[in-house]
Amino acid sequence: MVELIPPDQLLLILGMALVTYVSRVSPLLLLSSRQLNPHLMRWLEMVPPAVLAALLAPEILIGTGEDGAKTLFLSPDNIFLLAAIPTFIVGWLTKSFFGTVAVGMGAVALLRWLM
């Protein structure tokens, strides 16, 4: 009989699934019947944009130099930085996720075609 997944790996996957499930469901169960402080709610509303900014900023601003070292890449050759400008403007003015993503993808595609 062929063993698809070794038992230790299956146990590891099930353990990770359990930890992920518990960490996502426990706040829902514990806080669903409570009225939260408005300051806490305002702070929690800012978490997703802060995480998104923390993920995007290095991709937009950091480049790899000729020697392979990571450096700040503020240059007209940085297509991601150039594409971020109209993307941020559209996102700020329209508050549309789809529109922002479409403009960002279009800007990168256009810049790659032009450069």
Residue 67 resides in a domain: yes
Locate the DSSP E strands across the chain: 62-64, 70-72
Residue 76 resides in a domain: yes
How far is the C-alpha of 112 from the C-alpha of 61, rounded, in Å?
17
How far is the C-alpha of 11 from the C-alpha of 66, rounded, in Å?
44
Model pTM score: 0.64
Per-residue pLDDT band for 1 (boundaries 50, 70, 90) equals: low
Which range of residues forms the domain containing residue 61? 47-115
User: How many distinct structural domains can be found in the chain?
Assistant: 1
Query: Which tens digits make up the pLDDT trace of 12-40?
Result: 999 999 999 999 999 888 888 888 899 99
If we measure between CA atoms, which residue out of 74, 64, 79, 75 comes closest to residue 112?
Answer: 79
Query: Which tens digits make up the pLDDT trace of 100-112?
Result: 999 999 999 999 9
| pLDDT value at residue 68 | 84
How far is the C-alpha of 36 from the C-alpha of 30, rounded, in Å?
11
